[in-house]
């Protein structure tokens, strides 16, 4: 599987953009590091999504190493869909609505 088969749910994309904006308001360097970390983790998911344990509703989580975010994704017929780029302490589990 390659990175071309990664799709972002619109809400997950909005979350990632909001996180980048939040970090950028505080430090351009922090925003850049966040983007690098997010891209790195998405690449790892694309390489082998089944490396991560099944979580709720058939999703799989990946905890970012340097930031308090969890990338929640699931495999689909088309590849991998990122359901959420969820902050670890904000509205836990809210993304379950997107799994439908």
Q: Is the dihedral of CA 90, 67, 4, 74 positive or negative?
A: negative
pTM of the predicted structure, to 2 decimals: 0.83
* 75 φ, ψ (degrees, to nearest 5): -85, 140
The strand pair at 79-87 and 6-8 is best described as: parallel
Domains of the chain: 3-99 (3.30.2310.20)
Chunked into runs of 10 residues, the chain (100 residues) has average pLDDT values of 73 93 96 97 94 90 93 92 85 53
pLDDT at 55: 87
Tokens standing for residue 78: 């088309």
């Amino acid at each position: 599987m390659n990175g071309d088969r990664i799709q972002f749910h619109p809400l997950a994309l909005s979350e990632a953009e909001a996180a980048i904006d939040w970090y950028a308001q505080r430090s351009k360097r922090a925003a850049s590091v966040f983007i690098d970390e997010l891209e790195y983790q998405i690449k790892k998911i694309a390489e082998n999504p089944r490396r991560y344990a099944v979580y709720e509703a058939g999703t799989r989580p990946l905890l970012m190493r340097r930031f308090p975010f969890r990338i929640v994704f699931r495999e689909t017929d088309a590849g991998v869909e990122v359901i959420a780029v969820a902050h670890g302490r904000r509205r836990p589990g809210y993304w379950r609505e997107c799994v439908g």
